[in-house]
A and B are shown apart, each in its own frame.
Chain A
Amino acid sequence: MSEPLLQAMNLQCERDDRMLFRDLSFSILPGTLTRVEGPNGSGKTTLLRILAGLNDAWSGDLLWLGKPLARQRDEFLQNMMYIGHRPGIKPLLTPLENLRALMAGRKTVSDSVLMQALAGTGLSGFEDVPCRRLSAGQQRRVALARLLIADEPLWILDEVFTAIDIDGVAALESLLVERARAGGAIVVTTHHDLQLPSMQRISLGGGDGF
């Protein structure tokens, strides 16, 4: 698997009459970690949403395994996991129910595996507490528990480190490194100062200030 999973060629996106980026080309190879950088409002989330197929307002080419992504959407969706900054956690459901519902369409997972994943993110004891009673960081961890179960080759993670404590950040970093070493491709945006070996960077321009 040394062929790029995802290739972007001459991506261009305009939002509210403002050019976010143009002539953006890069490849996402298996076993690599890619960090999308840029100041607030430079289009990091927009780029990730474009890569995940959630945003249609762009021009250029996106290739999945060398072929246009739009024509093989099902294969792409089956092999891609996206966690946005609104991670899909229902406040009324418990962490276990949330995780179960999120995995339901992707992979058959037994409840004990789900419990293990929740324990692995430091949520043991909270499995049956409605998520609205959990702190922001804990809710975030419910979504991140997916990382311990997911086996999609491509992960697209928007602001993964938000609201996570120092120990959690360290564990998450090592998880991502392990994952890349095992051959997974990861695309992240973060304001956290992520320093990992062999990291690809995509820098988006942006405004000035401060």
Chain B
Amino acid sequence: MASEARVRLRPAHEAIGVLPAMKAVFLRDLKTAFRQHQDLLNPLLFFVMVVSLFPLGVSPEVSFLQQAGSGILWVAALLSVLLSLDHLFRHDFDDGTLEQLVLQPQPLFLLVLAKTLAHWVLTGLPLVLLAPLLGVMVHLDGNSIAVLCLTLLIGTPVLSLIGAIGAALTLGLRSAGVLLSLLIIPLYIPVLIFGTGTVAAAADGASVGGYMALLGAFLVLALTLAPFAAAAALRISLSNS
């Protein structure tokens, strides 16, 4: 059964490159998610329900909805991302996949980045795609909807990336939900403020360039720093398990 060849040390050039390894992690996450529809639909359904409850619960007035619409959509998107965060590493932690991920010879932060990217494709991106429809429902005009979608497109990856840090830190805890929210929401607030601020500025006819640049800066900052922090947090959580 064993190979005939003598066992030898593997030279460095035989290592699998970072990109194929990241791709494998990304594809595995997509595949498992598509086989578990509920986890995939939950955040989306939550998003739609929260947004559609506001006109019923507060006021169906067009003027109110026009004013509050972008804020409602942003808050709902933020909460539904938060709702899905616990799954980011939890299943992998429980079945041991995470140990194998940490032991891969590639840099862990890049593998974590691939996982986070998969999380965004599965939760953030569908929210962005659904936003125009809900935007029409809350009577936003075309220009505001376009700007709103753009802010969500830049903003939701930031939510996933920051959320990955919190999810990794609270991995060892049995009921991580509350602590995760407490840790993460303060960090989400700037993204929320600038996300809704951009749409408000667009509605007033002001220039949105500055806001967009700031959101873009958040994204770059999160892309460069969050994977490192999440990778370090994962090692700590695994070491304590």
Contacts and interface: CB of A to CB of B under 8 A. Distances in A.
Interface of A: 1, 30-31, 52-57, 74-75, 77-80, 82, 84-93, 97, 100-102, 104-108, 120, 130, 148, 151-153, 171, 174-175, 178-179, 182-184
Interface stretch (B6-14, B164-172, B195-203, B222-230): B6-14
Interface in B140-193: none
A97 B27 CA distance: 10
B9 A79 contact: yes
B38 interface: no
A183 B6 contact: yes
Chain B interface size, under 10 / 10 to 19 / 20 to 34 / 35 or more: 35 or more
A57 B239 contact: yes
A86 to B, nearest CB: 3
Contacts of B15: 74, 78
Contacts of A92: 31-32, 35-36
The 3 closest A-B pairs by CB, nearest first: A86-B96, A104-B24, A178-B2
A148 B1 contact: yes
B102 interface: yes
Given A89-B96, A93-B32, A105-B16, A52 B9 contact: no
Given A104-B16, A182-B6, 5 more contacts: A31-B7, A92-B36, A105-B104, A106-B104, A148-B1
Main secondary structure of the interface of A (DSSP, over half): loop
Interface of B: 1-10, 12, 14-16, 20-21, 24-25, 28, 31-32, 35-36, 91, 94-97, 99-100, 102-106, 111, 235-236, 238-240
Given A89-B95, A104-B21, A120 B1 contact: yes
Nearest to A178: B2
Nearest to A117: B1
Contacts of A101: 24-25, 28
B239 A56 contact: yes
A75 B12 CA distance: 7
A189 to B, nearest CB: 15
Nearest to B22: A105
Contacts of B8: 1, 153, 183
B105 A86 contact: no
12 contacts: A78-B14, A79-B10, A85-B96, A90-B91, A92-B32, A101-B28, A104-B20, A104-B28, A106-B104, A107-B14, A107-B16, A182-B3
- Chain A CB within 10 Å — which of B3, B99, B103 has the most? B103
A97 B21 CA distance: 14
Contacts of A93: 28, 31-32, 35
Given A78-B15, A174-B1, A54 B24 contact: no
